Structure 1
Amino acid sequence: MQIMARVIGSLALALACTYAFAQNAALPMPPSGVIGVQDAMLSPDYWIAKLHAPDTVLMSRAQIDAQNRRMFDTDPSMYDLQRIGPTLNRAQVASWIRKVSRMPDKTLLDEHDQPIPAATLNAIVSNVALDQIPAQVTARYGLTVHRVSLRSFPTKLRAFPGKGLQDFEAFQESALFPGDPVAIVHTSLDGQWFFIVSPRYAAWVESSAIAVGHRDDVLAYAAKAPYRVVTGDKLRTVYTPEAPDVSELQLDMGTRIPLAQLPPDQPVNGEGPYESWTLNLPVRASDGSLRFQPALLQRKLDSNADYLPLTQANIVRQAFKFLGERYGWGHLYNGRDCSGFVSDVYRSMGVQMPRNTGDQSRSPVLHFRAFTDQDDHAARMQAIAEAQVGDLIYIPGHVMIFLGWNDGQPYVIHDVGGLVFRDAGGKMRWTKTNEVSVTPLLPLLISDKLSYVDAITSIVRIRP
């Protein structure tokens, strides 16, 4: 996913992230219309069984931690909150805001495909209040209390770049999850939005989703132990009328929450904890300040005492837990987009990655093979032949996880909007997926003249 303001000017990149064009008469056409895919392929075990050593650890925990440190030290798309503030100058804050808060120069449409009035858009721009940034900004710090959207502008208005493009929300950037730390560096004119810097993104968030606390408390929260890591796609805490702020709270894959140190024989929010983990979750008091509240997460749900080992089997299993989840640009629709999908999968194994495809594909910390116009088709096919399960394959605006080979065809799992291909009779067909899908890679096309293989910009391998 790229910043929407940039994508609108080049919609082809956005469509590349959601539509795969395939032409291969040799592949079977099942009733689903998803070319080359049979029901057996929709199980992770099908692909894991093809691996020689699926449980070999690819990187140790120490190696992953060291890579994460290098990521925050050297990757410009990542932010080490320990180094932000407590005092910032106006130019730095304004630069962060201007980077994301850029109104597209094309007409934006509302949910009914009607043009949004210029006065409405002007009011949104005014709410940014760039002229209100003081010469010296005192940063505040907070923890996210529930999953919430990150926006390019301080508004909940939904805007779209063209008719029928409701899967591309113009002001949607990304998302934050419970327990995510942020530095608050600006407030909107109406006081309802914070401009925040999080470890992987800087954007606008509703102030009601952030509990403001002492800097040391906020930054120490993520390092507390013991903890649980969410290894399922989406889990929910136990329902509790006694503590509605943490009742049935959604926790997405890769979220790490410390455990509350409470007596095991005492009820938590009206329920005994013996068959649940007692989490220590941040909540927002009525004055906006940070508090902590215990909440129960059932032991039977998919969580772990630490990040999962980085193995090919775990990469495949974690990716398949999202199979069939609806595509969501910037984590919209309670889902995720192509880059959000791969980063959440790897996050469950402790690997930190940039948010957007472009930053992921060229991160100075990750091992990648870049491709240019000088690389011919044969060179790219050779790279596919040498790909390993779990490798990330990038084309402009899109990323896929390499699954392996089946009957001489390479396959991927990715968050994709649909497939356009020629059937056995040469007729162009279209199948909408709009979800995390298993598909063949060859011979996917971006256009009639450009294949996915020939559009590859990078192949990333997560290794020491």
Structure 2
Amino acid sequence: MLKPDHLSADFWLAKVADPDRLLLTGAQISTRNSETFARQPEMTRLADLPASFTAAQLADIIDNASASAKQQRFYANGQPVTATQWQHYRQNLNTDAVQPANPVRFALVVKRTDLRSMPTEDRVHNEQMALDLDRFQETALFPGEPVAVLHQSHDANWLLVQNYHYTGWVQAADVATGSRQQVLEYSEQTPFLLVTGARAYTSYTPAVPAISELLLDMGTRLPLLTTDDTGHNVNGQNPHASYIVKLPLRSADGSLAFTPALIARQQDVRVGYLPYTPANVLQQAFKFLGDRYGWGHDYDSRDCTGFIIEIYRSFGLLMPRNSGQQGEGSYGQNIRFSAQSSQHEKLAAISKASAGDLIYRPGHVMLYLGEDNGEPFVIHSVHELAYFSYKESYKASDKASGDASDKVSGQNADATPELYQGILNGVAVTPLTPLRLSADSSYLDKIYALKSLR
């Protein structure tokens, strides 16, 4: 069913009427974001945070960010996480240090870093022992991203931080703390350079190792500088063939400083957000094709929701982090399905969807591409893969007679379905209807929402 042509954005764009039409203007995107923040309780404008949290408020935030697992967890060697080890993790939450009033501090992220549910680098897994899925891993933070700092771990190596759509623990060495005004103004500065490739890198510089070949993911936004700000020698290089960006830098005491850095013009970047068009949505999605799956942005990569978030962040559109929050969220235009909705009803709705719309089943989101020969296709970042394969079997009498002509023609063959279950572990284009969760349940059975952000 899958053909090489399906692996090209151009194949799907040829099916789109007026692929370069503007879906939303910049002002409309800003309005849409405001509506999303107003509707989705898991999203927070950092500028709206209070100056401090009470003890009860902060304790509740810590409990929600670092809730104990309801199922047994295991280390990669198969050993279960013991009660003593859980106690050690929970002691590092440092809840005894919560004060009657807990000031909110602010910081900028200085390098791509993990955001975790526990203040530890230990990796733990569920009983299926899928080692690619670290259950302490939640998401990632990116260079230049503003965060609110709410608390510190007992060992002082971790900070509990909140960004615009998630709260978790980040290594203290990967953020630099500044004033509320410094941090929030930096995140709004214009003009800015936007990373439009799956990834880009700052130029190599021995002068400032912390910003040398720094990894930048799609959607990363950095303020632009000019030679009027920096002169014509930036870290030992003339910037005439590069963009000059302003990067946050962590001082020895953890405080925030800034430094110029170069990004070569041959990198996949642009000034300002991409126009929000069908062509740009699909082209952004296909820049990730073949990338390794990364649960919670692990492996310097992305999972299903991270994939979607980074595509839409290229246009300035913001959304919740988890697939359930997205699919069940009221923002955008939504079509809902119940447990009683038939496959026919779902397929009819999908056939009317537009390329770039989002399809949700529990725990997963896919970006709709269109139909080919009546089959809907999606692009998504997916870990597991299951589908029915069919092998021909023949009657015993045919085997005994050695009737080769019948075997070739298949006249006496019966199609025997066998469930294939394996690992895809990457960003892939797939037909939708063959995808299975089990022998008794398909993706189509479990689809509960279609979402359009037009």
* TM-score normalized with structure 1 length: 0.90
The residue number in structure 2 matching 1:41 is 6
3-state SS in 2 of match to 1:190 = coil
User: How far is the alpha carbon of 1:222 from its aligned partner?
Assistant: 1.2
Q: For the residues of structure 2 that align with 1:393 and 1:74, how far apart are their CA atoms?
A: 20
Task: Please report how far the alpha carbon of residue 368 of structure 1 lies from its aligned counterpart in structure 2 after TM superposition.
Answer: 1.2
Query: Cα offset for 1:313?
Result: 0.9
Map of 1:266 onto structure 2: 232
Cα distance between partner residues in 2 of 1:202 and 1:360: 16
SS in 1 for 2:378: strand
Matches within 5 A, 1:351-390: 351-390=317-356
Q: Is the 8 A contact 2:386 2:437 kept in 1?
A: no
**1:27 maps to what in 2?**
none
Paired AA for residue 50 in structure 1? K
What does 1:278-289 align with in structure 2 at a 5 Å threshold? 278-289=244-255
Q: Between Structure 1 and Structure 2, whose CA radius of gyration is higher?
A: 2
Q: Which of 424, 436, 440 is equivalent to 1:433? A: 424
Q: Percent identity?
A: 40
Deviations for 1:423-462, whole angstroms, at most 9, x for unmatched residues?
A: 2322333453200000000132222222222211111101
| Equivalent pairs, count | 428
Which residue of the other structure, out of 183, 186, 211, is the alignment partner of 1:221? 186
CA distance, structure 2, for counterparts of residue 240 and residue 217 of structure 1: 26
Residue 269 of structure 2 corresponds to which residue in structure 1? 303
- For 1:202, the equivalent position in structure 2 comes to 167
Give the match for residue 448 of structure 1: 439
**Deviation for aligned residue 1:83:** 1.0
Partner in structure 1 of residue 115 of structure 2: 150
In structure 2, distance between residues paired with 1:398 and 1:190: 35
Query: Is residue 51 from structure 1 mapped to residue 42 from structure 2 by the alignment?
Result: no
Counterpart residue number, 1:60: 25
Aligned to 1:416: 382
Q: 1:398 aligns with which of 364, 370, 377?
A: 364
Give, in whole Å, the separation in 1 of the partners of 2:22 and 2:129: 45
Q: Give the partner amino acid of 1:199.
A: Y
1:231, 1:253 within 8 Å by CA — same for their partners in 2?
yes
Equivalent pair of 2:386/2:438 in contact (CA under 8 Å): no
Alignment-derived partner of residue 240 in structure 1: 205
Q: Does 1:458 align with 2:449?
A: yes
Shift of the alpha carbon at 1:386?
1.2
The TM-score, its normalising length taken from structure 2, stands at 0.92
Q: Distance in 2 between matches of 1:419 and 1:385?
A: 23
Give the C-alpha shift of residue 163 in structure 1: 4.6
1:230 is aligned to 2:199: no
Partner of 2:281: 315
- State the alpha-carbon separation in 1 of the partners of residues 184 and 355 from structure 2: 35
Which runs of 5 or more structure 2 residues have no equivalent in the other structure? 392-416
Cα distance in 2, alignment partners of residues 117 and 447 from structure 1: 32
Say which SS state the counterpart of residue 104 (structure 1) adopts: coil
**Aligned-partner SS, 1:143:** strand
Deviates more, 1:71-80 or 1:248-257: 71-80
Match in the other structure for 1:190 = 155
Runs of 4 or more consecutive aligned structure 1 residues displaced over 4 Å after TM superposition: none
Q: Provide the rounded CA distance (Å) in 1 between the counterparts of 2:434 and 2:299.
A: 30
Measured on the aligned residues, the alpha-carbon RMSD in Å equals 1.4
1:192 partner amino acid: N
Which residue matches 1:160? 125
Q: Which amino acid aligns with 1:56?
A: R
CA deviation profile, 1:382-425 (whole Å, cap 9, x unmatched): 11121111110000000000001111110000011232222232
* 8 A Cα contact 2:369 2:377, kept in partner: yes
Partners of 1:377 and 1:45 lie apart in 2 by 29
Counterpart amino acid of residue 237 in structure 1: T
Structure 1 Cα separation of the partners of residues 424 and 441 of structure 2:
21
Mean Cα deviation higher: 264-273 or 167-176: 264-273
